[in-house]
Amino acid sequence: MKKVLTGMPSFNALGLKKQLLALAVCMGVGLVQLDTAQAASPNVNPPALKASAPNVYVVKKGDTLWEISGKFLKKPWRWPEIWASNKHVKNPHWIYPGDRLLLCTLNGRPLIGKDEGDGCTGIIRRYSGRTNLQPQIRVESLNNTIPVIPLEHIKHWLERTVILAPESLENTPYILGTADQRVLAGKGQTVYTRGNGLEVGQRYAVYREAEPYIFTDAEGKKYNAGVELLQVASGIAVQAENDITTLELTDSYNGEVRRGDRVLPEYDAMLPTLFYPTEAQEVTPGGQIIRVMGSISTAARNSVVTLDRGTLHGTKVGQVFSVYQQGEIVKDPKTKETVKLPNQRIGNVMVFRTFDQLSYAYVLDSELPIKVGASIQPPLMDE
């Protein structure tokens, strides 16, 4: 390890960059490696169709898979059970504006697939694998694929935020001051960082630390489950002397650069092209919503929330959870006992980014405002 003359510990920028890149790659891979239609358990009833479910639906620009699923199913997260993916197509789960979706029936169960000119007969034949068709090629921009949710609603939380373990931030470079002695700095200004590992000519991101996620363990001891970092700027290292690096800020985001802000390698966020709601059976029970992003305590449809469940608990990108409001505590007018009423299901959220102990989730729908402390559970698959 390189010796630091000023006594400041060195910072392995390359190692952290690899860590961030690995996080991005894993996130991207998890979003596109999808199974074909899942066979439901024989003990579970087929997904219930809405009375208004159309026999034919033409996909429109601006649609989302969640909205389309909701046109057919009472429980949209069961979409994988009825989707007739064609095994001879390279990416059978992708649909595009202009695609005709047909509602068919196979052995008494609903089946939805893309019409290729031969109606339900062709959809069932291809789904069952009884076809001699050769692989087809469809030239189409990935930007035209239909996502499960509007990506613009979560883009900020994919590109400009990250949650890292507290120990990952030890000895990382930080903003020491500005060239013109200002307290705040932004795009076009020069700042100085202190810490080793920065390389001249490389781009770096400047992050502001948000409130840490503090939990209490079974023994009553508090611990830090993760530090949330919000990117406020980007810049290029133009000069280095000992452990002081000069950074020219090229972009500003949701705030000004301040002294003490963290400087980390910048990476290209891999925005997903598709999400796929799945059943969440293997996640450690007892999860809760612990933070509402961009709000003090209340979330609604299209909001982003933080769950106290991460990859270490079995959480995966694409999983759907039902949200339950804590039942009210009332006094029985006859017995005078204090009784807690049952929890009430008020909405659904879908995980779109995971970390070790935490996850970001998108509120798909909500009947009532969702508050911090609301519990999450895997959705009921049976009707």
Picking from 265, 299, 318, the residue at the C-terminal end of a domain is 265
Picking from 88, 115, 147, the residue at the C-terminal end of a domain is 147
Is pLDDT at 182 greater than 70 in this prediction?
yes
Same domain, 339 and 196: no
In a domain, 284, yes or no: no
In a domain, 353, yes or no: yes
Picking from 99, 131, 147, the residue at the C-terminal end of a domain is 147
Work out the number of other CB atoms within 10 angstroms of the CB of residue 229. 21
Using one digit for the tens of pLDDT, what is the confidence trace for 92-101?
567 889 999 9
Same domain, 138 and 44: yes
Using one digit for the tens of pLDDT, what is the confidence trace for 196-219?
889 999 999 999 999 899 999 889
Is pLDDT at 1 greater than 80 in this prediction?
no
In a domain, 294, yes or no: yes
In a domain, 382, yes or no: no
Q: How far apart are CA 74 and CA 62, in angstroms?
A: 21
Is pLDDT at 135 greater than 90 in this prediction?
no
Same domain, 182 and 330: no
Number of domains present in the structure of the chain: 3
In a domain, 96, yes or no: yes
In a domain, 4, yes or no: no
DSSP 320-362: EEEEEEPPPEEE-TTT--EEEPPPEEEEEEEEEEE-SS-EEEE
Is pLDDT at 23 greater than 90 in this prediction?
no
Domain that holds residue 77: 34-147
Same domain, 18 and 67: no
Using one digit for the tens of pLDDT, what is the confidence trace for 262-275?
999 987 777 776 66
Is pLDDT at 166 greater than 60 in this prediction?
yes
pLDDT for 140: 44
In a domain, 116, yes or no: yes
pTM: 0.79
Using one digit for the tens of pLDDT, what is the confidence trace for 254-304?
889 999 999 999 877 777 766 666 666 788 999 999 999 987 779 999 999
In a domain, 62, yes or no: yes
What percent of the chain is modeled with pLDDT above 90?
A: 51
User: What's the CATH number where 305 sits?
Assistant: 2.40.10.410
Kindly calculate the radius of gyration of the chain based on its CA atoms and give it in whole angstroms: 25
Using one digit for the tens of pLDDT, what is the confidence trace for 313-332?
999 988 899 999 988 899 99
Dihedrals phi, psi of 6, to nearest 5 degrees: -85, -5
Same domain, 252 and 172: yes
Same domain, 298 and 226: no
